Amino acid sequence: MSFCEDHNCAECCFEVDVPLLNEDIQRITSMGYYDAYFTETDPRTGVKSIRKICGKCVFHVDGLCEIYPHRPERCKLYPLSYDGDTKSVTLDDHCRHSAYYEVTESMRRQMERYVNKLRDEILWRKKTGVML
């Protein structure tokens, strides 16, 4: 159990942008969901993110995540946030439980790996013109 589950908190399912890695999309589509159902694409970068309905993640149903064990990497890393200007890993100010978290070196490395994968995918899309 995570702190969020223990406290029945799902605030991060509201208004938080969740960029998807190709592996996230493949994992979720392998569960039978269609890409068009759960993604929206940024026309500038080609990055696909979790689609929101009325500001809420499309998988947030009746107060729970329908795909929790298979959720995107970004969701697993929350409440970590990455500040591109300072290139540092911080805690999201919007998380009301962020005081209960501490950014460990392991967490920092996980977030940096995620950001690097996402950056590489964006660069690849720009270079090839392929929007997955």
Cα(109)–Cα(72) distance, rounded to whole angstroms?
17
Tokens matching residue 109 = 């490395």
pLDDT in the model for residue 117: 94
pTM of the model: 0.84
Query: pLDDT 10s per residue in the chain (132 long)?
Result: 466 777 777 777 887 789 999 999 999 999 999 999 999 998 887 789 999 998 899 999 988 889 999 999 999 888 888 888 888 898 888 888 888 888 889 999 999 999 999 999 888 877 776 655
Residues whose CB is less than 8 angstroms from the CB of residue 31 and which lie 6 or more positions away in sequence, other chains included: 67, 70
